[in-house]
Amino acid sequence: MQEDRRLAVLRAIVEDYVATEEPVGSKALVERHGLNVSPATIRNDMAALEEAGYLAQPHTSAGRVPTDKGYRLFVDRLTTVRPMSTAERRAITTFLDGAVDLDDVVHRSVRLLAQLTRQVAVVQYPVLSRSTVRHIEVVAMTSTRLLVVLILSTGRVEQRVVELAEAISDDGLSRLRTRLNLAAVGETIADAAAALTDLLTDEERPDAATVAAVPTLVEAMSDHRSDERIVVGGTANLARFGGSFDSAIRPLLEALEEQVVLLKLLGEATTGDTVTVRIGAEGPVEELASTSVVASGYGPGDGLASLGVVGPTRMDYPTTIATVRAVARYVSRILDES
C-alpha cells in the first residue's frame, strides 16, 4: 500500500512538473491530486523517493523534480496510455489519407507528429532492403521503348525506360509482364533480383525484351539512396522549452543535421506496434542526455523503418506515446493498402 501511494506521488509530481516546469511541493500535491493523506506523509514519501533516486531537490526548501530514473519508472508503470480523442484520430486519418505517394506520406507524417506532440519529429524513409516487390508493370511507349514500373511494399515506385533492339508485339509485352511478375512479386529485394537474373539463364534463348528489361529492374532494386534518408520537422518547437533545456538546444540542433546521429536516436524501433522510450542518458548520444526519444517502427510485417519524436525529458509521455503509436499504425496501413 505504501509502495502504491509513493508511485501515485511520483506520478503526480511528474505530471505537475511537465505542466509547470516548477519544482513540486507536498502542499501542492495534496491540493491538486486529492491523495487523501497529510502533507507530512507526502513529505516522507517524497524523501523516500529522493533517497531511492527517483526525485531530486534543486535547492534547499524547494519542491522536488523527477530524475531520469523517476521518468523511467513513471513510463514503465503507465497502466494506460491516454486514448486519442475521436477528433484527433479523424485528423490523423484525414491528413494522411490525402497523401499521393511515399514522399508525401513521409512529409505529412513529420508535420503531423510535430503538430500533435509539439516536439521535434523524425521520420526515416522505409529501408529498401526490407521491402518486397508488390508489382511490376510494363507499358509500351513505342514498339521499341518500354516504361518499366517497379512497385514495392513500402509504397516506393521506381520507373525506368528500356530501349529494345527490336520491336515488341502486344503478345510479347503481355508475356514479358507475366514472366517478370511471376519471378519477383512477393519476394524480398535480394531474392527478386536473383530470380529475375535467373530468367536470363533459365531459358534457352531469352527474348530481347527480357534481356533488356531484367538488368534495368535489377539496377532499380539495388538503388539504396533512400535507405538512410530521414526527414525532420518541428524544430521551431524547441523555442518553447527554454529553462533547464536551454543547454541542450544547440547540441540537439547539431544532431538534427547529422543523419547518422538521427538513425542512432531512432534506434531499432522497427518491430510492429512496439513503442520504445529512451530517457536522458539511456540514449546513444552523450551530448543529448537531457532529451528523450519516443519512437516506433512502421510498415507492413515486422516494420520497414522508424518514426518518432525528440524533446526534453520533461515531456508528456502518455500523450506522446499514444500519438507516435497512432501515426505509425496509420502510416503502416497506408503503405499496406497502397
Predicted local confidence at residue 303, as pLDDT:
56
Contact criterion met (CB below 8 Å) for 35 and 5: yes
Q: Residues in the chain, how many?
A: 338
CATH of 86-127+227-337, one of 3.40.980.10, 1.10.1040.10, 3.40.190.10, 3.30.450.40: 3.30.450.40
- Residue 45 has a pLDDT of 92
Q: Distance (Å, rounded) from C-alpha 286 to C-alpha 275?
A: 22
Asked if residue 42 lies in contact with residue 31, where contact means CB atoms within 8 angstroms, the answer is no
CB 118 within 8 A of CB 186: no
pLDDT tens digits, residue range 213-250?
899 888 888 765 555 688 999 988 887 776 666 677 77
CA distance 55 to 50: 4
C-alpha cell at 183: 519471378
The per-residue pLDDT for 2 is: 80
Question: Per-residue pLDDT for 302 more than 60?
Answer: no
Is residue 174 predicted with pLDDT exceeding 90? yes
In the predicted model, is pLDDT for residue 34 greater than 90? no
Residue 107: pLDDT band by 50, 70, 90 thresholds? Answer: very high
Can you give the pLDDT at residue 294?
94
CB atoms within 10 A of CB 323: 26
Do 256 and 233 touch, CB atoms closer than 8 A?
A: no
pLDDT at residue 12 above 90? yes
Q: Residue 159: beta bridge partners? A: 149
Q: Can you tell me the distance from the alpha carbon of 109 to that of 264, in angstroms, rounded to the nearest whole number?
A: 20
Nearest to 259 by CA among 125, 108, 155: 125
What is the spatial distance between Cα 280 and Cα 315, in angstroms, rounded to a whole number?
A: 11
In the CATH hierarchy, which fold is given to the domain comprising 130-221?
Enolase-like; domain 1 (3.30.390)
CATH architecture classification, 2-76: Orthogonal Bundle (1.10)
pLDDT above 90 (res 289): no
Q: Domain spans of the chain? A: 2-76, 86-127+227-337, 130-221
Confidence tier at 206 by pLDDT (50, 70, 90): confident
Of 29-33, 42-46, 59-63, highest mean pLDDT: 42-46
Least confident span in 11-25, 159-173, 178-192, 302-316: 302-316
State the pLDDT at residue 257: 79
Q: Give the sign of the dihedral formed by CA 281, CA 111, CA 229, CA 135.
A: positive
- 60 has a pLDDT exceeding 90: no
Asked whether 227 and 262 are in contact (CB, 8 A), the reply is: no
pLDDT band at 112 (very low <50, low <70, confident <90, very high): very high
Percent of the chain having pLDDT more than 90? 38
- How buried is residue 208: exposed, middle or buried, by Cβ count under 10 Å (0-12/13-18/19+)? middle
Per-residue pLDDT averaged across 270-293, rounded?
Answer: 82
Burial (Cβ within 10 Å: 0-12, 13-18, ≥19) of residue 8 = middle
- CA-wise closest residue to 201 among 174, 183, 227: 183
SS3 at position 24: strand
Quick one: which H or E segment has residue 249?
helix 246-255
Compute the distance between CA of residue 107 and CA of residue 75 in angstroms, rounded to an integer: 29
121 against 80, higher pLDDT: 121
**Within 13 A of 228's CA, how many CA atoms are on the CB side?**
7
pLDDT range class, residue 15, cuts 50, 70, 90: very high
Q: Average pLDDT of the chain?
A: 85
pLDDT at 79: 67
291 to 16, 215, 226, 262: CA distances (angstroms): 18, 47, 27, 13
* Fold: same for 2-76 and 86-127+227-337: no
Q: What order do you get walking across the sheet with 230-233 strand by strand?
A: 230-233, 120-124, 305-312, 291-298, 275-279
Q: What is the DSSP letter of 36?
A: S
CB distance 273 to 296 below 8 Å: yes
